[in-house]
Each structure stands twice: as structure tokens, then as C-alpha cells.
Chain A
């Protein structure tokens, strides 16, 4: 049973296209995230949602629009794709417990290549 699953695993598309990446978690976590890992392997948060409500939006271009239909799903839609959007996108979830937030769980990533 995959705790955080993303689809597709690989996505190759042309500049200017619109694409979506889907994420689902079966952990019952309240908070979900999108992270981007660029070619230099630097991981940076993009968005976070808590119970379908946007909590964090880290200065991401408007072409990126997250959507959370319910707390188990967080999808990422990207309009007018650019070469610089090529990266690995990771979905993650977490739950706040005592003793500080305990353990993010990440998906295995979606490698997006824009040509």
C-alpha cells in the first residue's frame, strides 16, 4: 500500500502546454504539500494545504495552481509550461502531533521534462 502516490511518474511535454500532476495520500493526514526539486537537486516548498485550505504559497508563478478536492488529494495544474519548469515535483503529507510535527511522508516524485 503506497502511502503517498503521485501520477504520472514521468511527464514529457512541449512548451506552452497545460498539464496536471495528481497526488493522493491514504495516511489520514490533514496537511499536504508540493515541493519542487530542480536540476541542482535543491528541494523547495511550493504549496501546502490543510484540510483543503491553502496555507503556504511560496511565491510560485500564477501558472501553477494547486487544487485540493478533499484532504486526501492535492493536484497540481501547470499552465503554459516553460523550459524552466522542468524538475522533479514531490507531493508530501504530514500530521501535527505532540513533540513537534512528526514525519513528513513524500511521494516518489514526478519527473517533468518540458521540451
Chain B
């Protein structure tokens, strides 16, 4: 799986938008961009995924650069419950293996 680079940690104020960046300069044409998060003392949970176009779901939005070498996970209005480690993962189509990096630890300030 291609490598991703994320900041080790970020802070954001409650009720403000959060933009979590991810660089993946060696992404291949068949790599999907997945985001997972791990809340304290829980297993990772799926957030969103995309290939080329921006994606929205009830949890977040995913903005993918035109050259696909970077992406941004957007939490539109952060709550304290969003404090977690967020993982950006590249996954080749048909490859079910998830390879986790070190992720970004997001702290929400009340």
C-alpha cells in the first residue's frame, strides 16, 4: 500500500470546522483514499472514502486534490465527541487489507 503523511496532532475549537490534511504523493490510479478514526478506548471506525471526486456523508466531507496527491478530511462542526486519532489510508481496489499509519490525534477545545 502506498504511504500517507499526516500531522501528528491538531487542535480545534468546538463548533468550528476542522480540516485534516493528508499527503499521498505516490498514490496510484487504482488507490482509493479511506479515512478511519479511533475514539479513545474503541476500535477504529469508518469515516469516508473516495477515488477522485469530493465526497460527502453524514459524518464528514472528503476533498481530493485534482492530482490526487493530497486530500483533506473536513469535519464541518467539531464536537467534543470528534476527539480521536484520524487515519488516512490508501487502499488498492480489490485489496481488502487496511494498513494503518500513525494518524493525526485531534484534540477539541471546549
Contact = CB atoms under 8 A, between A and B. Distances in A.
A66 interface: no
Interface in B89-110: 91, 93-100, 102
Interface of A: 4, 31, 41-45, 48, 50, 55-56, 90, 92, 94, 96, 99-109
A76 B94 CA distance: 25
Interface in B68-102: 85, 91, 93-100, 102
A90 B44 CA distance: 9
16 contacts: A42-B100, A43-B38, A44-B100, A45-B97, A48-B97, A92-B43, A92-B44, A100-B91, A100-B93, A101-B32, A101-B95, A103-B46, A103-B49, A104-B36, A106-B43, A107-B43
- Main secondary structure on chain B at its contact with chain A? loop
Given A92-B44, A100-B32, A108-B42, 4 more contacts: A45-B99, A99-B32, A102-B49, A103-B49
Contacts of A96: 94, 96
Given A31-B96, A45-B99, A56-B97, A101 B43 contact: no
Interface of B: 32, 36, 38, 41-46, 49, 51, 85, 91, 93-100, 102
Contacts, number: 56
Nearest to A56: B97
Contacts of A50: 96
Contacts of A103: 46, 49
Contacts of B102: 42
A48 B98 CA distance: 11
A103 B46 CA distance: 6
Closest 8 CB pairs of A and B: A106-B43, A100-B32, A43-B100, A103-B46, A90-B43, A100-B93, A106-B44, A101-B96
A109 B42 contact: yes
A92 to B, nearest CB: 7
Contacts of A41: 85
